[in-house]
Amino acid sequence: MHWSALLAAALVASALARERLPRAFPGEPVWTYWGLGSVMASLFLVSLLIHEMAHVLVARRSGVVVDGAVLWALGGSTRFRGAARDPDTQLRIAGAGPLTSLTAALLSTGGAVCAAALSVPGPVGECVIWCATVNFVLAVFNGLPAAPLDGGRVLWAYLRHRGMDPVRAARAATTGSSLLGWFMLLTGLASLLLAGTLMGVWPTFVGLFLITVARTARQRS
């Protein structure tokens, strides 16, 4: 785990303890907000880990050697030794993460419904709802067709499967990166400057990362 992942978790815990939780449960002691925020930040890291482990397991089952997976501030990264044998294998590996996150989101949503039906204490239900939200965001965001996200790799594998050459497929996979990057950058800055919320830090850095990746890809092509 990269140190920046711990920094991201600390920012998540701080934003939850200072903003979301006091609104959801007014009048509680400060330590309650920080304790619950720390638990929810841990669920954020666990969700990232499960997402990356899905890539690792499918890659190993497909015969691809995995050097390791690293969690960092902007998500996760799995290091492979060499490329997948064919586009279909790449498609399975890339799609495993978003599908796993979507499954976790659906299971967590079911848990939240059960918690509400059984009148489980509010903080527990809040954690389950948070887990569902995080995994749903991971599934949708990583599924977007913009390199280097999983969706970009899925698009590349699909285009290669359809017979497109690797360079054109890679260019197509990075087309949406710049637009998505600028959208996230502006959204994050608006959250930070206008709404004054720390939750805008993550989309700001992700946006900068995607813009940089898109620019590098254009220069190489």
Q: How far is CA 146 from CA 48, 84, 177, 209, in A?
A: 19, 19, 5, 12
The residue range of the domain holding 175 is 145-221
115, 44: one domain: yes
Q: Are residues 163 and 124 in the same domain?
A: no
* pLDDT band for position 75 (cuts 50, 70, 90): low
> Which candidate, 95, 83, 133, places its Cα nearest to that of 112?
133
Q: What is the mean pLDDT of residues 22-34?
A: 90
For the segment 193-200, the average pLDDT, to the nearest whole number, is 72
Is residue 210 predicted with pLDDT exceeding 60? Answer: yes
Radius of gyration of the chain (CA): 19
Residues 127 and 217 in one domain: no
Share of the chain above pLDDT 90, in %: 27
Out of 19, 28, 52, 126, which one is annotated catalytic?
52
- What is the phi/psi pair of residue 73, to 5°? -60, -35
Instruction: Please state, rounded to an integer, the average pLDDT across all residues of the chain.
Output: 85
Q: Residue 107: is its pLDDT beyond 90? A: yes
The angle formed by the CA atoms of residues 57, 59 and 65, to the nearest 5 degrees, is 110
What's the pLDDT score for residue 50? 93
Whole-angstrom Cα distance, residue 132 to residue 138? 10
Q: Domain boundary residue among 101, 125, 142? A: 142
pLDDT digits (tens, 9 = 90+) for 149-192: 888 888 888 888 888 888 888 878 787 788 888 998 998 888 88
Same domain, 26 and 102: yes
Same domain membership, residue 157 and residue 136: no
pLDDT of residue 150: 87
Structural domain ending residue among the three candidates 123, 142, 161: 142
Please tell me whether residues 156 and 58 are part of one structural domain.
no
pLDDT tens sequence across 39-74: 999 999 999 999 999 999 999 998 888 888 888 765
Reported confidence tier of residue 220, pLDDT bands at 50, 70, 90? low
Q: What is the mean pLDDT of residues 113-134?
A: 86
Q: Mean pLDDT over residues 132-146, rounded? A: 89
Look at residues 115, 142, 169 and tell me which one is the last residue of a structural domain. 142
Range of weakest confidence among 5-9, 194-198, 211-215:
194-198
**Do 1 and 23 share a domain, yes or no?**
yes
Residue 221, pLDDT > 60, answer: no
**What is the number of domains present in the chain?**
2
Same domain, 129 and 94: yes
Clarify whether residues 111 and 218 are in a common domain. no
Q: Are residues 137 and 175 in the same domain?
A: no
Together in a domain, 157 and 112: no
Question: Would residue 126 show up in a list of annotated catalytic residues for this protein?
Answer: no
Please check whether residues 50 and 89 belong to one and the same domain: yes
